[in-house]
């Protein structure tokens, strides 16, 4: 099974995860890095969103085992496991990840991701006009 994540789907996944947890501040970090999986369950906002999209626990666990790797390496690992993400989806997730890692509430991370999504849509409209 292949999982395709574009910017719209990425934002929708984040919305679903944040709903009811807008004030939550992720505090499971070690050495300033979040964990996709903790106690065999999705942990950080992006890990939870990816799992909701259908990414198996073992794939997310492997990302944690690889440690703090680059976004390109993360995307490559996901692609090997049949998870394909557009560059725009990566931007949406990255903005949310950055705010979460800066100890901001998930609601703020979602708002920033939404703003990024809106700018991406504006740019797309300008290009197609």
pLDDT tens-digit map of 34-56: 889 989 999 999 999 999 999 99
Provide CB contacts within 8 A for 68, sequence distance 6+.
31, 33
Number of domains present in the structure of the chain: 1
Q: How far apart, in whole angstroms, are the C-alpha atoms of residue 110 and residue 27?
A: 17
Q: Which domain holds residue 27?
A: 3-128
* pTM of the full structure: 0.89
pLDDT tens digits for range 70-115 = 677 888 889 999 999 999 999 999 999 999 989 999 999 999 999 9
């Amino acid at each position: 099974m292949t999982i395709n994540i574009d910017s719209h789907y990425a934002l929708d996944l984040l919305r679903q995860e944040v709903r009811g947890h807008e004030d939550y501040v992720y505090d499971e970090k070690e050495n300033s890095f979040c964990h996709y999986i903790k106690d065999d369950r999705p942990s950080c906002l992006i890990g939870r969103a990816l799992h909701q999209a259908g990414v198996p626990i073992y794939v997310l666990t492997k990302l944690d085992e690889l440690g703090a790797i680059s976004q390109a390496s993360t995307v490559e690992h996901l692609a090997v496991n049949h998870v394909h993400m557009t560059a725009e989806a990566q931007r949406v997730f990255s903005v949310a990840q950055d705010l979460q890692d800066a100890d901001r509430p998930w609601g703020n991370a979602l708002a920033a991701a939404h703003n990024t999504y809106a700018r991406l849509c504006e740019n797309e409209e300008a290009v197609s006009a």
